[in-house]
Chain A
Amino acid sequence: GEDVEQSLFLSVREGDSSVINCTYTDSSSTYLYWYKQEPGAGLQLLTYIFSNMDMKQDQRLTVLLNKKDKHLSLRIADTQTGDSAIYFCAESGSGNTGKLIFGQGTTLQVKP
């Protein structure tokens, strides 16, 4: 079935790069997404990548997609304390209904 897995926790120092990893199972996914959730808040779309792309860069964010290994990563350059949040990887599920399948979220802790 469809499943998305992420590591649960990552701690980095301010100014370092953060890399959050995700694996997924549905090879038919058209899009893969990264959402950010700050404490008590909703899900904020950070970035997304088409499944026919290998990489997408958006300011401090770099998304890498390895379709063969079904592996997605999010790199945050020059990580700031304001980047502390939970980061969710999501894939568009099979079918044409738009359903998103989420990972369990990676908590990023940025230490000053």
Chain B
Amino acid sequence: EPEVTQTPSHQVTQMGQEVILRCVPISNHLYFYWYRQILGQKVEFLVSFYNNEISEKSEIFDDQFSVERPDGSNFTLKIRSTKLEDSAMYFCASSAGYQETQYFGPGTRLLVL
């Protein structure tokens, strides 16, 4: 069964460093998403991406964040200068349509020291 994959599974970084989280969505899906879950809190929407552009972003998704689909398979989330409060589990998801079911990857646990 097709699935969303994410790499790395864990990442530890120093405050102020740049990180890139990678996702491979399901191959025939057209809509891509990033969510994050700070430990013990809700899963929060960050950004949705369709047709090579951002279709919606939350207040969390400020200028430090960017997304890219550099080729036909990968979908990346870049955090330019990480802060302590960026420590969270980051989930990628994809769907065939915006009203279709979203399938989530296993997540990348990011720890900023």
A positions within 8 Å CB-CB of B: 30-31, 33, 35, 41-45, 48, 88, 90, 92-93, 95-105
Interface flag for B55 (CB, 8 Å): yes
| 9-residue interface stretch from B63-71, B74-82, B103-111 | B103-111
Q: Beta-carbon contacts of B42-72 to A below 8 Å, as 1s and 0s?
A: 1111001010000110100000000000000
The yes or no answer to B99 lying at the interface (CB within 8 A) is yes
In the assembled complex, how far is the CB of residue A105 from the closest CB belonging to chain B, in whole angstroms?
7
| Contact residues in B for A45 (Cβ distance below 8 Å) | 101-104
Q: Would you list the 10 A-B pairs with minimal beta carbon distance, nearest first?
A: A98-B98, A97-B56, A42-B106, A43-B104, A102-B43, A97-B55, A97-B48, A104-B42, A99-B45, A42-B107
> What is the size, in residues, of chain B's interface with A at 8 Å between Cβ atoms?
27
Q: How far is the CA of A67 from the CA of B50 in the complex (A)?
A: 30
B24 CB to closest chain A CB, in angstroms?
A: 14
B87 at the interface (CB under 8 A from A): no
Q: Contact between A30 and B99 (Cβ–Cβ < 8 Å)?
A: yes
Chain B: CB-nearest residue to A50? B99
**CA distance in complex: A90, B33 (Å):** 15
A contact residues around B56 at 8 Å (CB): 95, 97, 99
* Cβ–Cβ < 8 Å partners of B105 in chain A: 42
Chain B residues whose CB sits within 8 angstroms of the CB of A44 once the complex forms = 104
Q: Which residues of chain A come closer than 8 Å to B102, judged between CB atoms?
A: 45, 98, 100
**Chain B positions 7-64 with a Cβ under 8 Å from a chain A Cβ:** 31, 33, 35, 41-45, 48, 50, 55-56, 58
Known: A31-B99, A92-B99, A95-B56. A104 touches B106 (CB 8 A): no
